[in-house]
Chain A
Amino acid sequence: MKVKEIPGNFPFKVLNSSESADEKEIGSVYCCDLLSIAMSRMSEEAAWVTVMSNLNTLAVASLTDVSCVILAEGVAVEDNMLSKAKEQGIALFSTELPVFEAASMIGKAIAK
Chain B
Amino acid sequence: MSDSIKLNYQITDEDFTRAGEASGDVKKRLRQMGCSPEVIRKVAIAMYEGEINMVIHADGGEIDVEITPEEITMVLKDKGPGIPDIEKAMQAGYSTAPDNVRALGFGAGMGLPNMKKYSDEMHIDTVVGVGTTVTMKVYQQ
Let me know if A95 is at the binding interface, CB within 8 A. Answer: no
**Bound: A34/B97 CA distance, A:** 13
Give which listed residue, A34, A36, A52, A63, contacts B44 with CB less than 8 A: A63
Within 8 A of B (CB), among A52-98: 52, 54-57, 59-60, 62-64, 80
Task: Describe A's contact surface by its main secondary structure.
Answer: helix
**Bound: A37/B27 CA distance, A:** 19
Let me know if B41 is at the binding interface, CB within 8 A. Answer: yes
Most chain B beta-carbon contacts within 10 A, residue among A36, A54, A56: A36
**Bound: A101/B92 CA distance, A:** 30
Q: Does the CB pair B24–A37 fall under 8 Å?
A: no
Give which listed residue, B17, B37, B41, B49, contacts A55 with CB less than 8 A: B17
Let me know if A40 is at the binding interface, CB within 8 A. Answer: yes
Collect the chain B residues with CB atoms within 8 Å of residue A54's CB: 16, 104-105
Give which listed residue, B17, B24, B37, B52, contacts A62 with CB less than 8 A: B24
**Bound: A59/B55 CA distance, A:** 14
Q: Give the interface size bracket for B toward A.
A: 20 to 34
Let me know if A15 is at the binding interface, CB within 8 A. Answer: no
Query: How many Å from the CB of A5 to the closest CB on chain B?
Result: 24
Let me know if A39 is at the binding interface, CB within 8 A. Answer: yes
Let me know if B6 is at the binding interface, CB within 8 A. Answer: no
Q: Does the CB pair A56–B118 fall under 8 Å?
A: no
Q: Does the CB pair B105–A57 fall under 8 Å?
A: yes
Interface residues of B (CB under 8 A from A): 16-17, 19-20, 23-24, 27, 37, 41, 44-45, 48-49, 52, 104-106, 108, 110-111, 114, 117-118
**Bound: A55/B21 CA distance, A:** 11
Let me know if A23 is at the binding interface, CB within 8 A. Answer: no
**Bound: A36/B118 CA distance, A:** 12
Given the known interface contacts A52-B105, A56-B104, the answer about A36 and B114 at a Cβ–Cβ threshold of 8 Å is yes
Query: How many Å from the CB of B72 to the closest CB on chain A?
Result: 15
Q: Does the CB pair B106–A35 fall under 8 Å?
A: yes
Q: Does the CB pair A36–B49 fall under 8 Å?
A: yes
Q: Does the CB pair B23–A63 fall under 8 Å?
A: yes
Give which listed residue, B24, B37, B106, B110, contacts A40 with CB less than 8 A: B110
